[in-house]
Amino acid sequence: MKYKTKKIVVRYSETDQMQFVHHSNYLKYFELARLEWLTEMGVSYAEMEQEGILMPVVSASLEFKTPLYYGDLFQVTVELKNNPKATLDFDYELTNQKDEIICKGNTVLAFLSPQTKRPMRCPKFLLEKFS
C-alpha cells in the first residue's frame, strides 16, 4: 500500500548554514507523510491517542542522495511494507520538483498499551484501513 503527499515547499527555517535542508527535518517530513496518509484514509491520529493507542517510532533509518534547498518543492512517497501486526513498517522516498530522489528511509512504529507500555496488536479498525 502506497501514498504520495501533496507538494511541500522547503521553508527557510528548515535549512542550515550550508543552505541544505538540515538532516533532522527528514524524519519530520516522513511523519508529515504518514499523518497526511492517515488523514486521507479517514483516520485521526489525535483520536487514536485519545482512545489509548500509542504508536512510538522504535526504529528509523535515512539514506541521503542529494540535498534539498530553500524554496524547493518536494513530495514524499510512503509505503507500508507489510500488513500491520504489533508494528507498522514504512519505507519512504522523497523526490524534488525535478523528480530526483533526495532521500530514502524507513521507520518502524510499534503499537503500545497505554497502561503497560508493552507491545499490543494493531487495532482492528486500523488493520481494516490498511487491508
**Which member of 16, 72, 91, 99 is catalytic?**
16
The one-letter code for the residue type at 107 is T
Dmax over CA atoms of the chain, in Å, equals: 47
CA-CA-CA-CA dihedral for 66, 36, 7, 4, to nearest 10: 70
Tell me, yes or no, if 91 is annotated catalytic: no
Could you give the residue numbers annotated as active site?
16
